[in-house]
Amino acid sequence: MDRSSAGFSGHYPRSGNDDYQPKDHAASSSRGRYRHAPVRQWGHPPRTTPGRNELYYSSAACSFQHLQRRSVNHAQDFNNLIKQEIMDGLVNQSDRIGQRYDGRHHGRYASSIKKYTSAAKRPLNRAEQSHLICFLQNFIATPGWNWLSLTTTLHSFTSAGVFTPHNPMDERVKRTQAALLSTLLDAIIFKCNQASHARNIAAQGVANLLWALAKLVDNGQEQTPTFNGAVAALLPHVNPQKKQFIPQHIVNLLWAMAKLADYGQERTPEFNAAVAALLPHVNVQKANFTAQGIANLLWAMAKLVDNGQEQARGFKEALATLLPHVNIQKGQFIPQHITNLLWAMAKLVDNGQERTPVLKEAVAALLPHVNAQKNQFNAQGVANLLWAMAKLVDNGQERTPELNKAVAALLARVNAQKDQFNARGITNLLWAMAKLVDNGQERTPALKEATAALLPLVNTAKANFNRQEIANLLWAMAKLVDNGEDRTPELKEAEHSLLPHVNAQKDNFKPQGIANLLWAMAKLVDNGQEWTAGLNDAVAALLPHVNAQKNQFIPQHIANLLWAMAKLVDSGLEKTPEFKDALAALLPHVNVQKDQFIPQHIANLLWAMAKLVKNGQEQTPEFNEAVASLLSLVNAQKANSKPQEIANLLWATANLGELIELNVFTSTFKSLVYRISENTQFSQQEILMSLWGVMVCCARLALDSNAHKNNVLEKHMDDLLTRLENTSPDNEEDQSIMIMAASWLGRDCPVVRHYQTNISKTQVDFRDQLKSSIPSLKIEEEKSLNSLPPVDLLLPDHNMVIEIQGPFHYVGGDFKTRKGSTLLKIALLQKAGFEVIEIPVNRLWNQDLMKPYIDQIKTRIGFPPQEHGSVPLKRSWADAAYVTADDRQPSDPGYLIAEEHSKEQTGKPAKRKKTNSQ
């Protein structure tokens, strides 16, 4: 999903159009020691200048100053820059002057490389970089270099792409590149640590160096100890210089720190102090920022927040200062600015920024420009914009005509640019489309075409996806399928190409990734995904990490994980020791974090608990405590629950049956059922789930002689069935629900259900023993009475039903706590006039155990039992397995204690769809 993931999360998309390449800003300032251009044009020094007549300058190098004023032959110009006499002259200059050499000529040469790439409008290509690196083997910074030379050299080489890693790269080139960078970084650290030199660091130098370091890591440079040391050495110089920074410096510095933080820079006290020192100056300088500056500042602030920056007063004031300028300067933003701004606002909102009127105005001001400039957005811009719009919509953005036009304009560009999307772009696009559809976006032809264009690229780029992208992609595909996307061969191939990478990267997934992946796999299985070896391996690989990271899951993760685990088990996943450990690790966190769950979480969690119970979950203290914690929240959150959530809550509460104390059970239903009649938006499926739940509640009340009967619940049952009168569900379980409701209410039901029967060996053995004891007794098997689910044994002459109950009919198979489906079947039979005797299967495993029950039945039908101290059935079903002859109550029907015997006999809902959790 999310950072979801996404999501999910969510999903964590990065903007690639986020770097502010300064416009030769080393030569643009007019303040301090940089009042003169720090990098002068490469030319002959005056002969009268001492120490400046030793360096040889080629005429080709001298002529470089004219490059930007004429048409150029780039190959010729580059060759002129790597003539051996140039390097000989630089080395000679450094050797002759020694410690007094300030490095200015090296800086000028570095600047000439940058100017060459500026004229070519591109960084050095791989071949040029290789030639240049070899040429620079003797390019060494010495201790005498001043700050201007160091700043100019590192900034110019970085801007020109001298240090950008290429793959593949010759090992000799790689070593020389590393040595060159190291010599510059060591010199910077040395200067920063010398108190006398540190005083000479100008504001522009600090800004340029930190920008260069951030750009290096953004271009793929490894963050070595030397690199980190240089960052750490420079950060303390931001605060002392804060009043000297011009707007461009502030922009570059905040961009640099945001970029460094995004690549794992530790948020040290010095780092935090630097950010805190700069933020107030955003407000002071607000009138002087250009359109590009505003875009980069908002991007930087959004990225800082995304990496843990606290939104303190200074941050909020800076944000409030910048947002109005988006509207003011809306006509000056180029496509890259529009992308960065909408991405930034989406990311800020996703991290808790309130959608204030000024933020809404800023978004509204930009959206028309997306459509107007649609043909100018590159592939990365298209991906980031669609991600931003999906995230804004997910956080409450109204789907205005302008937003719809912008989405439509961008979707059309996806197919046109499909060959240009990298792994991150593919991920962001599929995540965005899944999120838009999940929030009501119509699946237009353009959206379908965009999806179809992207899915084959997943397989092509499978080796390039990182762990976050794998999680988001699987989440997106699961969400698209859940919203109607066909499971095409391309989709299946994309799924199968990603699953092996889950196992390969299992140790690298963060809590959100684990939650999103398990949710996605559960949702795919719920929508028809086969249980392949790859899917089994992926699930098995992730489960141990649930336990390992249990303390890092937020409420949404806990809800998604438990929903996913319940769904996977319900779809056939074996409950391995790893599964049980993961479940045991999560359950205590339900109680700990109960106050942070929103209505959707509560509904999904209770649904998950009920599904786990359906599949044999034991009643541990942690499980029971989790159920109790969630039920206590239902009434408090009822006003905010959606129809689907209400239906899930009613179904889940009903399914848990006697696990829930009767007063809590009935009060939960009373707090929810009135919402059903108030809301006409319930789908057919939600009505069926709610109807089943209300029936179970009525059944439980009917079976308890001390309970207060509530006709209001039956009225709700009648209303719900009426709303289904004109429907004819093809699902057999849904048909059963309608039949049972009609039977309870004494109404005709147009639906006819044909039940499959399957007689268990225990049932056959008991029938034979009963027939042997009473040869004249008429016994019918698997009889459907009043179109209800078949009963095990029917004694038609005595209007008696015998149900042989296995552990499936009890919560956790404890032979004590009946499930809702069990309660409903017994109550329906009694309401139809039958006496029901429930016999626990664990009491029928041999003839000696059967005899007491056979004698009890003889007593009930007036056939005298033999004298052998038989054990009768007792109405208090919880004690049925332990009663003695003194407890005999011949007039009372027995109660069940049971397990499923090779078939599911009850009218419970089967697989219920739509318990969304993303």
Least confidently predicted of 169-178, 273-282, 527-536, 897-906: 897-906
List of residues 6+ apart from 890 with CB closer than 8 A: 856, 859, 860, 872
* The pLDDT value given to residue 408: 95
Given a cut of 60, whether residue 499 has pLDDT beyond it is: yes
Inter-residue contact 530 to 572 (CB < 8 Å): no
Report pLDDT digits (tens) over 503-551: 999 999 999 999 999 999 999 999 999 999 999 999 999 999 999 999 9
Higher-pLDDT residue of 593 and 864 is: 593
Mean of the per-residue pLDDT values for the chain? 84
Q: Which helix (H) or strand (E) holds 803?
A: strand 800-805
Split at pLDDT 50, 70, 90, the class of 231 is: very high
Q: Which helix (H) or strand (E) holds 182?
A: helix 171-193
Given a cut of 70, whether residue 661 has pLDDT beyond it is: yes
* The pLDDT value given to residue 65: 40
* The pLDDT value given to residue 193: 85
Please state, as a whole number, how many other Cβ atoms lie within 10 Å of the Cβ of residue 768.
13
CA distances in angstroms from 92 to 180, 740, 892, listed in the order given? 18, 99, 111
* The pLDDT value given to residue 844: 86
Across the chain, how many H-helices and E-strands are there?
Answer: 36, 4
Split at pLDDT 50, 70, 90, the class of 677 is: confident
Given a cut of 50, whether residue 34 has pLDDT beyond it is: no
- Name which of 505, 418, 417, 434 is nearest 474 in CA terms: 434
- Name which of 472, 470, 561 is nearest 522 in CA terms: 561
- Name which of 269, 327, 266 is nearest 298 in CA terms: 327
Given a cut of 90, whether residue 710 has pLDDT beyond it is: no
Least confidently predicted of 43-47, 92-96, 224-228: 43-47
Residue 428 is given by DSSP the state H
**Whole-prediction pTM:** 0.79
Report pLDDT digits (tens) over 142-194: 888 999 999 999 999 999 999 999 888 889 999 999 999 999 999 999 988 88
Given a cut of 70, whether residue 726 has pLDDT beyond it is: yes
Given a cut of 70, whether residue 207 has pLDDT beyond it is: yes
Inter-residue contact 451 to 480 (CB < 8 Å): yes
* The pLDDT value given to residue 606: 97
Given a cut of 90, whether residue 756 has pLDDT beyond it is: no
Higher-pLDDT residue of 375 and 12 is: 375
Q: What is the mean pLDDT of residues 897-910?
A: 32
* The pLDDT value given to residue 570: 94
Q: Which helix (H) or strand (E) holds 783?
A: strand 780-783
Higher-pLDDT residue of 902 and 563 is: 563
Q: How far apart are CA 598 and CA 393, in angstroms?
A: 19
Checking 816-819 for CB contacts under 8 A at 24+ apart, the result is 816/878, 816/897, 817/619, 817/657, 817/658, 817/659, 818/657, 818/658, 818/877, 818/895, 818/896, 819/613, 819/614, 819/655, 819/656, 819/657, 819/658, 819/906, 819/908
Given a cut of 70, whether residue 128 has pLDDT beyond it is: yes
Coil, strand or helix: which one is 840? Answer: strand
CA distances in angstroms from 361 to 313, 326, 350, 694, listed in the order given? 22, 9, 17, 47
Given a cut of 90, whether residue 751 has pLDDT beyond it is: no
Please state, as a whole number, how many other Cβ atoms lie within 10 Å of the Cβ of residue 266.
11
Given a cut of 90, whether residue 914 has pLDDT beyond it is: no
Inter-residue contact 125 to 170 (CB < 8 Å): no
* Placement of tokens 């940058």 in the chain: 114
* The pLDDT value given to residue 254: 97
Given a cut of 50, whether residue 37 has pLDDT beyond it is: no
* The pLDDT value given to residue 561: 98
Q: How far apart are CA 537 and CA 789, in angstroms?
A: 39
* The pLDDT value given to residue 94: 87
Least confidently predicted of 152-161, 477-486, 847-856: 847-856
Given a cut of 90, whether residue 8 has pLDDT beyond it is: no
List of residues 6+ apart from 328 with CB closer than 8 A: none
Report pLDDT digits (tens) over 428-462: 999 999 999 999 999 999 999 999 999 999 999 99
Inter-residue contact 763 to 901 (CB < 8 Å): yes
* The pLDDT value given to residue 634: 92
Inter-residue contact 31 to 203 (CB < 8 Å): yes
Split at pLDDT 50, 70, 90, the class of 865 is: low
Token pair in block for residue 427: 């991920």
* The pLDDT value given to residue 887: 31
* The pLDDT value given to residue 47: 31
Least confidently predicted of 40-44, 129-133, 139-143: 40-44
* The pLDDT value given to residue 911: 38
Instruction: To the nearest 10°, report the CA torsion of 184, 186, 189, 191.
Output: -70
Characterise 131 by phi-psi region: left (phi > 0), alpha (psi -120 to 50), beta (else): alpha
Q: What percent of the chain has pLDDT over 90?
A: 68
Split at pLDDT 50, 70, 90, the class of 324 is: very high
Residue count of the chain, please give it.
918
Least confidently predicted of 388-397, 526-535, 895-904: 895-904
Q: Between helices 84-97 and 104-120, what is the axis angle to 10°?
A: 150
Helices (H), 195-243: 195-198, 203-218, 225-234
List of residues 6+ apart from 659 with CB closer than 8 A: 613, 619, 624, 627, 811, 817
Q: For 470-505, b where at least 16 C-beta lie within 10 A, e where not — what string?
A: bbbbbbbbbbbbbbebeeeebbbebbbbbbebbeeb
Given a cut of 60, whether residue 265 has pLDDT beyond it is: yes
List of residues 6+ apart from 396 with CB closer than 8 A: 355
